[in-house]
Structure 1
């Protein structure tokens, strides 16, 4: 009898542990990435949409996931005429590389705000990046927000008007780092 009860207890606890793991589907309609790129004088801002993605959690904490970024959706919202230039080979070469990816490789949940580490792939070049993300559970899913995520464009072979490569640019130089504000909404 004791063995039977022990066996039932193990089965129930194992089932409960598995029930704690959840995969959420990223809502491409409600999620957005905002970017901000600076120049010596001024800068530009814009948006990029997600194509798809998932977030995995265990006991309410993010443990994995990733998303595909639709580079064709990239827009320069303060100067729409620049959108075409950003999509050409000087920058993201969107006809050749229509998507970018971010895959979570590690999550440090030891602090109040989790630190997410993952591999960002742009133009077939991959670089590990880390950033804090505020994660909130909702009635039907979760939301995650990471503000000011720094990305160095040189890691992805985007050298156009970089003072690191061209010394005579003066005030036409574009900073090597740009920032992303990532807002993800996901549902079960």
Structure 2
């Protein structure tokens, strides 16, 4: 009897301890979350939105441990143009010249490391996959338990998105499109 009580108490301690150190996946509210993008060229810029398909942050004691996000590349839209110009830009961005969404309908970010910097700011290291090509990315993320915000700068040429790149083509002049584009992420849980 005494052995059973001790075994039961020990089992309870093990269960409670394992629960205390278990991380929790905080699922992203994809309808309330928002991703905006901005690409620049010599003669101006374009901007728009793209939707999250799914995502979560691994959190333990309200600290980020990791996470994974899937982006719906087919949802890519321009918000600075209207009508035929909007349709042409969106079609071109979805074509093989840029993101090839027919063959690569999703992009993915996997957070591999999250280090608290100060307050609610984390230094994030992750693997970003676009067009089936994965490269490491680093950025800061502000996380408060109910939302998270981050700004990323992505070099498109690392993902074989070279159209109009002055790094690969000569004599583009004012048709040159800069290699880096910006992503602003506003996540809601």
**Interval of TM-score (by shorter of Structure 1 and Structure 2):** 0.7 to 0.9
Aligned counterpart in structure 2 of residue 116 of structure 1, from 108, 114, 124: 124
**Equivalent runs, 1:98-177 vs 2, <5 Å:** 98-112=105-119, 113-137=121-145, 142-147=146-151, 149-177=152-180
Within 5 A, what are the aligned runs for 1:17-166?
17-18=20-21, 21-79=23-81, 80-81=86-87, 82-112=89-119, 113-137=121-145, 142-147=146-151, 149-166=152-169
Indicate the RMSD between aligned Cα atoms, in angstroms. 2.0
Runs of 4+ displaced beyond 4 Å? 6-10
TM-score with structure 2 setting the length? 0.87
Q: Which has the greater radius of gyration?
A: 2
Runs of 5+ unmatched residues, structure 1: none
Cα deviation 1:73-99 (Å, max 9, x = unaligned): 000111223111100011001111000
Q: TM-score when scaled to structure 1? A: 0.88
Which residues of structure 2 form unaligned runs of 5+? none
Secondary structure at 1:114 match in 2:
strand
Once residues 72 and 111 of structure 2 are traced to their aligned partners in structure 1, the CA distance between those partners, rounded to angstroms, is 18
